[in-house]
Structure 1
Amino acid sequence: MPAILIHGVPDTHRVWNGVRRRLTRSDVEAWDLPGFGNPRPEGFDAGKQEYVDWLIERLERVGEPVDLVGHDWGCILTARVASVRPDLVRTWAGGNGPISSRYVWHPLAKLWQDPVEGERFMAALDPASFAKDLVDGFDAPAEPVEEMVRHVDDTMKDSILRLYRSAVTMGAEWEPALSKVTAPSLVFWGARDPACPIEFGHELGEALHATRVVTLDSNHWTVLERPAEVAAALEAHWAQGTGR
């Protein structure tokens, strides 16, 4: 019964390295989403529903319910999986990915959703400048963000644009089904997240009847800034949710 960790945007599995080093269990996998350090299948359009379908197919191949964890878009996508295929999820945990009709996309997301400005942004993207913008705009830790941005290639740029443009009304579309999540749930959230305010973490926790909402003294990238605390929260959650 493995634990599966799903990253967000513009991340890869590497965003979980600090958390994984601090976990005591050995059955932990961090997957790369298609287009994010992982080739996109033929005909894969990189919309939000396609990512959910891809996760469901991969999880079905595991053959047993998993401890599913997501951050940022990983939080959004895994919560959707847990709501439509609860049979695949033993426990769920996620953070800094709002699923709410009240949520207003942050400025960078809005730019990516614009068919003209988004293309212009990606065409002119300079890794060093992009990393600095993320560090300054999201109050993010510099070194891991710089490492993260080094892996942003043309496929990831295109995937980001496609994903965000498919998700303009994601909150209103996916929020109602959160009530169908049956897995014991944990929400962890950075209290200083400028893109996804903490109120949406508490709101998600209420929607999922979460056993805990862990508020961390962190920005958006809790898994980079507070890996030990995230790992400890996950292990406590898994122990409680599975009786281990």
Structure 2
Amino acid sequence: MTHVFVHGNPEVDAIWGPLVAALTARGIADIVLLSPPGFGSPAPDGWDASMESYANWLITEVEKLEAPVHLVGHDWGAGHVLGLLARRPDLVATWATDIVGLIHPDYTWHDAAQAWQTPDVGEQVIDAMVSMTIDERTAAFAGLGLPDDILGKVAAGLNAEMGRCILGLYRDATQPAAAQLGERLVNVDLPRGLGIIATADSYVPAELCTAATSTLGAGELRLEGLGHWWMVEDPDQAAVGLINFWQEST
């Protein structure tokens, strides 16, 4: 069965490299990395970067594969996975995502997201990010905790097209939009799921992720002390947790 991974913002698929290596070393094959439009792959003409457009994009990509698939999402990739599940759960054998608390009614967007969601302010922030040289951007992103090789690829991937997609996606997802997605998912007959709870992730509180995971009837992979880029920080622990989940689902 195909294992499909979807990354988020402002990322490229290089963030999955350490985890893919750990999974491959443990015998997992048929791995597909999907880059959302504007985030490592070109955005089609007229792309509005809305939540619905990204969900439909992911549906189209998964339909090209031998469904059902094991679907894994990180950051906004998690949002796209949840968007697909609200529309086409039949395409998925299992799903696993981090930041599930995004759909909790009490979730409040982090400071950077709120800046992007603010007219004029968001454009100024994105213009400043895009106008940096790659070296300047790499230095600015150094605090993310990514290794140099992945950090360089992430910094190089940020361009004006990604910037436009960041603004479109975050503005479309202004609350209560994400919470409304959660309300839709509660009424869907979901396949077996897994909430990946990285307890040190500063973007979405772990307690909201735990609550939302429970609401969706999903299991939990708790990664104590790991942050937003858990797949890079401890790929072996993440690989073992995912493999156990997949094996239990067969």
TM-score (norm 2): 0.89
Asked whether the 8 Å contact 2:52–2:83 carries over to 1, the reply is no
Q: Which residue of 2 aligns with 1:235?
A: 243
Partners of 1:217 and 1:168 lie apart in 2 by 29
Q: Which residue of 1 aligns with 2:77?
A: 74
Using the TM superposition, name which of 121-130 and 19-28 deviates more: 121-130
- CA positional deviation for 1:39: 0.9
- CA positional deviation for 1:6: 0.3
- CA positional deviation for 1:142: 5.4
The reply to whether residue 222 of structure 1 matches residue 225 of structure 2 is no
Structure 1 pair 131/109, CA: closer, same or farther in 2 (3 Å)?
farther
Q: Which residue of 2 aligns with 1:150?
A: 156
Q: Which residue of 2 aligns with 1:5?
A: 5
Asked whether the 8 Å contact 1:7–1:13 carries over to 2, the reply is yes
Q: Which residue of 2 aligns with 1:174?
A: 181
| Alignment gaps of 5+ in structure 2 | none
Partners of 1:175 and 1:89 lie apart in 2 by 18
Asked whether the 8 Å contact 1:6–1:71 carries over to 2, the reply is yes
Q: Which residue of 2 aligns with 1:18?
A: 18
Give every structure 1 segment of 4 or more consecutive aligned residues whose post-TM-superposition deviation is greater than 6 Å. Answer: none
Q: Which of the numbers 44, 56, 65 marks the counterpart of 2:47?
A: 44
Partners of 2:185 and 2:221 lie apart in 1 by 16
- CA positional deviation for 1:84: 2.1
Q: Which of the numbers 81, 94, 104 marks the counterpart of 1:100?
A: 104
The aligned amino acid for 2:118 is: D
Asked whether the 8 Å contact 1:216–1:222 carries over to 2, the reply is no
Q: CA RMSD in A?
A: 1.8
The reply to whether residue 122 of structure 1 matches residue 126 of structure 2 is yes
Asked whether the 8 Å contact 1:189–1:222 carries over to 2, the reply is no
- CA positional deviation for 1:134: 4.7
- CA positional deviation for 1:128: 4.8
Structure 1 pair 133/203, CA: closer, same or farther in 2 (3 Å)?
farther
Question: 1:177 aligns to what SS in structure 2?
Answer: helix
The aligned amino acid for 1:62 is: L
Partners of 1:160 and 1:9 lie apart in 2 by 7
Using the TM superposition, name which of 13-22 and 95-104 deviates more: 95-104
Asked whether the 8 Å contact 2:141–2:155 carries over to 1, the reply is no
Using the TM superposition, name which of 204-213 and 191-200 deviates more: 204-213
TM-superposition CA deviations, 1:77-105 (whole Å, max 9, x none): 10221232110000000102521221000
Question: 1:178 aligns to what SS in structure 2?
Answer: helix
Partners of 1:132 and 1:184 lie apart in 2 by 40
Using the TM superposition, name which of 58-67 and 231-240 deviates more: 58-67
Question: 1:22 aligns to what SS in structure 2?
Answer: helix
| Alignment gaps of 5+ in structure 1 | none
Using the TM superposition, name which of 174-183 and 149-158 deviates more: 174-183
Using the TM superposition, name which of 61-70 and 169-178 deviates more: 169-178
- CA positional deviation for 1:25: 1.3
TM-score (norm 1): 0.91
Question: 1:188 aligns to what SS in structure 2?
Answer: strand
- CA positional deviation for 1:199: 1.1
Question: 1:123 aligns to what SS in structure 2?
Answer: helix
Partners of 2:78 and 2:126 lie apart in 1 by 24
- CA positional deviation for 1:133: 4.9
Partners of 1:73 and 1:237 lie apart in 2 by 22
Partners of 1:135 and 1:95 lie apart in 2 by 22
